A and B are shown apart, each in its own frame.
Chain A
Amino acid sequence: MNFLPYLVSAWLFLIGLYGVVTSRNLVHLCICVGVIQSSSYVLLLAIGYRIGCPAPIFIDIKPGTPAVDPVVQALILTDIVVEVTVMALLLALAVQIHKRNGTLDPNLLHAMKG
């Protein structure tokens, strides 16, 4: 059971890739990229977790008691910001592509051949 978070993380990575590869709509595709990103949250979260330890907020608990790893949580925070910003850029690009080509289906966009 203790390996479950890793499995979930790997699964999210793979299923997100599957979504990107088979996508028929660029907005859908962008959201699938977001699922790949959430894979890294779960992995980092699992690495930082300690069984039976509280959150690293030393208000109610005495300073110095063992707590879960705050470094990893800070990394996830950065990761979340990166996700939302990259997603905004991807969506903006998708909207512009639709404006130009009148479609969001990657199967119908063929400007880049060869």
Chain B
Amino acid sequence: MTRAARKILFLISALLLACVFWLGYSQMQPAGFVSGEYGDRVNQLVVPQRHITDAVTAVNFDIRGFDTLGEEFILFTSVMGVVLLMRWRKEPLRGDHEDKAEDRRVPPPSDAVRVTSVLLVPATVLFGVYMVTHGQLTPGGGFQGGVILATAPLLLYLAGTFGQFHQVAPLRMVAFAEAVGAATYIFIGGACLALGGTFLQNLLPLGQVGSLTSGGIVPLIDLGVGLEVSGGIVLALLAFLEELVEEKEE
């Protein structure tokens, strides 16, 4: 099809689709007035029954925890896919960049960038850990904290110390941690089953409302998810990054 023909076909189809949207959406309850009886029931029970103050975390990791299991494995699968698609050459995944990266011939970044980035690293790690561990109490959780943790190695990269990056997070360790994080979820679920509940049934003591250990299995799952997400994002970004680093070496 020519570009013009494609555009005309699309505009006609989009008109039809717009009709579907218009006719369908016009019978919705207005936004802000939708009766969410499911959500109300969840809001009623999270604190008394689960000792979790962040209802979204409770839905994610307890009430609909099985969805999140699938979600974590979507991430896990995609990371495997990206790594496989990007590193397609015959040699196996290499973890030893140190020697090559040390003697790069690009001009090093300025001291100001260096210092700022390196100073930011502990702050980022701290913030990430805080977020992972407070998932059941305040907004945030394993996923958000995991992504923040994943940015720490990137700051190191910005500081021009890619070699150090590999020392801090050797690739094989990152890949291992990611897989272990993913397996943790299943492991916890299976442990609940072995203890006589159903899969992912929250059987641990629920703890004091508002404390770090409240919520039974939820903080444990949060930790696993944090590990998996941070590892996964680092691996995915590295897969995109790898050849660029080599280029700088040339």
Q: In the complex, are the beta carbons of B36 and A2 less than 8 A apart?
A: no
Kindly name the residue among B39, B46, B68 whose own CB sees the greatest number of chain A CB atoms within 10 A: B39
A49 adjacent to chain B (CB < 8 Å): yes
User: B42 interface residue, CB < 8 Å from A?
Assistant: yes
Partner of A67 from the list B6, B18, B55, B59 (CB cut-off 8 Å) is B55
Are A70 and B143 in contact, with the CB atoms below 8 A?
no
CB distance from A34 to the nearest CB of B (A): 14
Rounded to whole Å, the gap between the CB of B158 and the closest CB of chain A is 20
Number of A-B contacts (CB under 8 A): 162
> Given A64-B43, A92-B82, does the pair A70, B59 have CB atoms closer than 8 Å?
yes
In the complex, whether A10 has a CB less than 8 A from a CB of chain B is yes
Which of A4, A9, A21, A58 lies at the interface centre, i.e. has the most chain B CB atoms within 10 A of its CB? Answer: A58
Q: Give chain B interface residues in 208-250, CB to chain A under 8 Å.
A: 210, 236, 239-240
Given contacts A64-B47, A92-B82, is CB(A57)–CB(B138) below 8 Å?
yes
Per the bound structure, the CA–CA distance linking A82 and B239 in Å amounts to 19
What's the Cα separation between A74 and B43 when bound, in Å?
Answer: 13
* Cβ B32 vs Cβ A49 within 8 A: yes
In the docked arrangement, what's the CA distance between A81 and B36, Å? 24
Chain A CB within 10 Å, residue with most, of B32, B42, B77? B32
**Is the CB of B100 closer than 8 A to any CB of chain A?**
no
Given the interface pairs A17-B10, A21-B7, A63-B48, the reply to whether A71 lies near B38 with Cβ below 8 Å is yes
Q: Is A109 an interface residue (CB 8 A)?
A: no
Residue A46 lies at the interface, judged by CB distance under 8 Å to chain B: yes
Spot the interface stretch: B23-31, B104-112, B125-133, B188-196: B23-31
Interface residues on A, range: 35 or more
Q: B82 to A89, Cβ gap below 8 A?
A: yes
Are A85 and B137 in contact, CB atoms less than 8 angstroms apart?
Answer: no
Complex Cα–Cα for A17 and B22 (A)? 17
CA A1 – CA B143 in complex, angstroms?
34
Q: Are B74 and A81 in contact (CB under 8 A)?
A: yes
18 CB contacts below 8 A, A to B, read A6-B25, A7-B25, A13-B21, A14-B18, A47-B34, A47-B36, A56-B54, A57-B53, A58-B43, A64-B43, A67-B43, A68-B39, A70-B39, A70-B46, A70-B55, A70-B58, A71-B42, A89-B82
What residues make up the interface of B, taking CB atoms closer than 8 Å to A?
Answer: 3, 6-7, 10, 14, 17-18, 21-22, 25-26, 28, 30-34, 36, 38-40, 42-44, 46-48, 53-56, 58-60, 64, 67-68, 71, 74-75, 77-79, 81-82, 85-86, 88, 137-139, 143, 210, 236, 239-240
Give me 8 other A-B pairs in contact (C-beta within 8 A), A6-B31, A74-B67, A89-B78 excluded.
A59-B53, A63-B46, A64-B47, A71-B38, A71-B59, A74-B60, A88-B78, A89-B82
The list of the 8 closest CB pairs from A to B, nearest first, reads: A69-B39, A2-B30, A63-B47, A85-B78, A56-B55, A70-B55, A69-B36, A51-B32
**Chain A interface residues toward B at CB < 8 A:** 2-7, 9-10, 13-14, 17-18, 21-22, 46-51, 55-59, 63-64, 66-74, 77-78, 81-82, 84-86, 88-89, 91-93, 95-96, 107
